[in-house]
A and B are shown apart, each in its own frame.
Chain A
């Protein structure tokens, strides 16, 4: 019983950590975007204020049960994938070693690929129930794009799985620790393919087709305000952090302590952000075809590389 209690507390701590880091990243991204725009930009904690403001909205509307459940589904994905992904690398400082293990021995990459699609699907249903055409169009765009980037992403993962004969994230981290080589150097093609897929995963420009304001008036979240938007925003922050940690774990050897974790994830996060600042948006079919072009080719190279070497 105590064990479970500690586990639950640890899970909550992980969640809070991810929330704080994700939200801060959001604010920092806005700040950086502002600086590129030749302006000051909001303070780094602006996202916290926004979230709290949304949380303390006094009145709102809903369109039915799925409207509630959509946001909850989204949260399930974020939190459960966060639980499955090891936050800190094993074999670091003994004191850290037991931190944030959560459920990370209970799932693997294939599980993660599937649980990561759970939220968007639930969110899509929440968006569908609002009856707003913009929401539905945004959803179809998002799902199409998901099919697009999933291919190079899976290719990169399969390349890793072939080489190291495992699908477990913890095993990958152990391998990197034992060999001393980050997987981004061991199979650079896989890393490139995964990063290109990441551009789609984070939905920054040019792949921000889901909620494109000038086209769809913010798409699936059109009808969400107040607590719904708060939940989605938090979920988005947590999910961002989870995905970044996953990349760090897989390709950059994980992190031995929280500072390294923040540094590595932030560097990784800057790739989609900075690319997004200077890119217009693709149309949906252009985005999907883009993912099936070079990224898929590089993914094939990664598999070839994995098979040959």
Chain B
């Protein structure tokens, strides 16, 4: 019965529903967009009513919000933290900076394309995205999870070599020094 395709599908549907309604956000403000996370999570916009909640360490977290531009130094930490998170895990890119570099497109210290280094499930545009936009983006993420399409972690594993190569291009020493990394 367990191997029955239909029952498996039903279980997965329920699991995806639960995943979509319980999303623990990693406490990592990587850029300026983090300033709009606190209004989103607190009394005015109250993301907790949709099941969003803070998580202190990557082991407990489900989603990492890349809140804006990523400097090279932060990318290394972000990658490490992302790899320490436990699947299924999601990445949401905030603002133009994660999409194409935004106004920092010519800065020597910020990356331009987040999706070369991490699998991004949802992008939220704006500079910076307002709490309403954040909530809309997170709802989109919920929808994707419910549909079972938020498989960024799997994609990351499949294309690990490619991602690693891209990461190594900007952080040659760091990636080599890190201990055995997770999925």
Chains A and B are bound partners: yes
* B57:A57 contact, CB within 8 angstroms: no
The residue in chain B whose Cβ has the minimal distance to the Cβ of A228 is B59
* A223:B22 contact, CB within 8 angstroms: no
* A46:B22 contact, CB within 8 angstroms: yes
Main secondary structure of the interface of B (DSSP, over half): loop
The count of chain A contact residues (Cβ–Cβ below 8 Å) is 30
Q: Please report which residues of chain B, range 1-40, place their CB below 8 angstroms from some CB of chain A when the two chains form the complex.
A: 14-15, 18-19, 21-22, 24, 27
**Docked pose: A39 CA to B42 CA in angstroms:** 8
Flag the segment in B43-51, B66-74, B162-170 that touches A.
B43-51
Q: Does B121 contact A (CB under 8 A)?
A: no
Besides A39-B49, A41-B48, A49-B22, 4 new A-B residue pairs in contact (Cβ under 8 A), listed by A number:
A52-B15, A52-B22, A53-B18, A57-B88
Seen from chain A, the residues whose Cβ lies within 8 Å of a Cβ on chain B are: 30, 34, 37-43, 46, 49-50, 52-53, 56-61, 213, 217-218, 221-226, 229
Main secondary structure of the interface of A (DSSP, over half): loop
**Docked pose: A61 CA to B19 CA in angstroms:** 19
Checking A53, A60, A218 against B19 with a beta-carbon cut-off of 8 angstroms, the contacting residue is A53
**Docked pose: A41 CA to B47 CA in angstroms:** 8
Seen from chain B, the residues whose Cβ lies within 8 Å of a Cβ on chain A are: 14-15, 18-19, 21-22, 24, 27, 42-44, 46, 48-49, 51, 53-57, 59-62, 85-88, 153, 182-183
The residue in chain A whose Cβ has the minimal distance to the Cβ of B52 is A42
* B43:A38 contact, CB within 8 angstroms: yes
A213 contact set on B, CB distance < 8 A? 27, 54, 56
A10 to chain B, nearest CB (A): 28
**Docked pose: A61 CA to B84 CA in angstroms:** 9
* B15:A60 contact, CB within 8 angstroms: no
